[in-house]
Amino acid sequence: MTWKRYQNELIALIAFVFMLIAYGYKTTQVSSQAQGIAGAKHSVEEIQEVISLQKIWADTKTSKKVEKLQTLVPASKITWSNKNKKVTASYKNLTARELNTLVTKILNVPVEIEKLKIQKVASSYDVEFKCKW
Amino acid sequence: MNFMGNTKELLLVHPSMKPVSLTEAVNVMLPPQFYTLKKEALPLRYAYQAKKIAPSLFDGLLEAGSHYEYMVWKEDEAWVFLAYDIEKITAFLESKGFALEHVSKLFFAQQSVDLFDKPLFLGEHDALVSLDHIVVVVPRGALTQEDGSSLLFNNRFTPKKGIVLSGAYGSVLSLKQASMLAAIFILFALMFFVEGSRYSDDSETGEAKMQELISAYPALQSKYTRDSILTKYKAIDTAERKKREIVKMVSGMLFKGVTLSSLEIDAKSFKVHFTCKDAQVAKRLTLLATKNKLKTSAISGSHDLKIEGTL
């Protein structure tokens, strides 16, 4: 029966505890919302990254772009082999200008460079190039 | 079984009673010595209106310096006003051995006036009787023979409405203050709950963009697929960007007096051979390489420089 002596305080205390619980609920919701937003943002960024990576490295037009590497210099200077999305090319006697054009083009084609060898022979350049995609 | 009714024992107290020793809660009925009564036929409709004017009705009738509280109810056409001093009542109850926490509710004899059809003896000298529908204390000697034996006092005298004593003593807060505080806390609690539920609704909107992307690229719905694609292409992307950076760096290091003798890049490493015209050019090239965080090594017997590294 002692609690009856403090019945009024008890009423206020219960209401206060109720308020604390409500505050806890709100805080939990705020933090879970922040986590949810962060999670969703991360997922969106991840998906966007996957999409952009796929667009670059799984581009269906890559084969055509690679084929253009044959047309940059006279055919007599090129030995070309293309099998199963793998190219082995050998360029001989390239001028400095031809070398610049070829290297710039190679750098802009989204392929995996397996080998790029540039060798100066007298005043011209020989290039060996292997790539896949 | 009586779930709703008041099952506590009702005790009638009076100044000449013997002290009591209570082990459980009781209700207490107070005789007219503990209150001042007034009946007035007033054109009032509600009890709260009557309670509001109660202090003015007792002007000059009550002891100065005491703190009175009021109870009102309607009896037929008249309003009954009852003034009592709770401190005086609790002091009396304590003097008779009542532990206040054992006193559940206080009632006034006037509330059960209808049941006083016979005198109710209070000790050896006094009795409670109803005169003109008002309970009063009279000396037992004033009673006639016709009045006979005392009225049996029991729980049937318990009125519906009583005064809750607990909370009126020992507490730091009054019931009114406690109720106000509780109301404020509950109001805040409700605000927090509403706000919290709004936050939980909002968090769902963050996923809308993801759903939009997933519907455009259904193959990426699975996290496993996404991770697998990401691992594959990120490794390729990092390695290939590095290879291209090396080539760009090398071309940036070519200036007058420097010739590229050879450059070799494979999947894991790179090698560059520069031919320099003289030592000054070689020094400048070394500085440029250091700026690009590349390590150079001189080739003996010439001004040529070699740069090697891993990807």
pLDDT digits (tens), chain B, 311 positions: 444 455 789 999 999 899 998 888 899 999 999 999 999 999 988 999 999 999 999 988 888 888 899 999 998 889 999 999 998 999 999 999 998 878 889 999 999 999 998 899 988 889 999 998 999 999 988 887 666 788 899 999 999 999 887 555 566 777 788 899 999 999 999 999 999 988 877 666 667 777 888 888 888 888 888 889 999 999 999 999 999 999 999 998 898 999 999 999 998 899 999 999 889 999 999 999 999 888 888 888 888 999 998 88
pTM (2 d.p.): 0.53
Q: How far is A75 from chain B (nearest CA, A)?
A: 23
Q: Is A91 helix (H, G, I), strand (E, B) or coil?
A: strand
Minimum-distance CB partner of A50 among B195, B199, B229: B229
Query: Residue A58: its pLDDT value, please?
Result: 87
Query: Residue B2: its pLDDT value, please?
Result: 43
Q: How far is A18 from chain B (nearest CA, A)?
A: 6
Task: Check residues B123 and A97 and name the one with the higher pLDDT.
Answer: A97
Size of interface A-B (CB pairs under 8 A): 178
> Which chain B residue lies closest to A116 (C-alpha atoms)?
B265
Query: Residue B4: its pLDDT value, please?
Result: 44
Whether the predicted interface score ipTM is above 0.85: no
Query: Residue B70: its pLDDT value, please?
Result: 93
> Which chain B residue lies closest to A27 (C-alpha atoms)?
B196
What's the longest Cα–Cα distance across chain A? 109
Residues of chain B with Cβ-Cβ distance to A112 below 8 Å are 236, 239-240
Work out the pLDDT band at A103, boundaries 50, 70, 90: very high
Among B156, B124, B194, B112, residue whose Cα is nearest residue B9: B156
Given a contact cutoff of 8 angstroms between Cβ atoms, the answer to whether B88 and B9 are in contact is: no
Residues of chain A with Cβ-Cβ distance to B260 below 8 Å are 118, 120
Q: How far is CA B57 from the centre of its chain?
A: 42
Q: How far is A72 from chain B (nearest CA, A)?
A: 19
| Inter-chain touch B213–A46, beta carbons under 8 Å | no
Minimum-distance CB partner of B193 among A5, A25, A120: A25
The sheet with strand B103-108 has its strands ordered as B9-12, B26-30, B103-108, B163-164
Q: How far is CA B36 from the centre of its chain?
A: 42
HEC readout, chain B? CCCCCCCCEEEECCCCCCCCCCCCCEEEEECHHHCEEEEECCCCCCHHHHHHHHHHHCCCCCCCCCCCEEEEEEECCEEEEEEECHHHHHHHHHHCCCCHHHEEEEEEHHHHHHHCCCCEEECCCEEEEEECCEEEEEEHHHCCHHHCCCCCCCHHHCCCCCEECCCCCCCCCCHHHHHHHHHHHHHHHHHHHHHHHHHHHHHHHCCHHHHHHHHHCHHHHCHHHHHHHHHHHHHHHHHHHHHHHHHHHHHHCCCCCEEEEEEEEECCEEEEEEEECCHHHHHHHHHHHHHCCCCEEECCCCCCEEEEEEC
Region A85-89: what's the mean pLDDT?
A: 92
Query: Residue A106: its pLDDT value, please?
Result: 93
Q: How far is A38 from chain B (nearest CA, A)?
A: 9
Given a contact cutoff of 8 angstroms between Cβ atoms, the answer to whether B165 and B87 are in contact is: no
Q: Vertex B160, ends B56 and B14: CA angle to 5°?
A: 70
In this predicted structure, the answer to whether residue A61 has a pLDDT above a threshold of 50 is yes
Minimum-distance CB partner of A1 among B102, B251, B264: B102
Residues of chain B with Cβ-Cβ distance to A6 below 8 Å are 170-171
Query: Residue B92: its pLDDT value, please?
Result: 94
Residues of chain B with Cβ-Cβ distance to A52 below 8 Å are none
Averaged pLDDT of chain A: 90
Of the residues A3, A17, A44, A119, the best mutation for testing chain B's interface (the one with the most B CB atoms within 10 Å of its CB) is A44
Query: Residue B7: its pLDDT value, please?
Result: 77
Q: Which two tokens stand for residue B298?
A: 């001189």
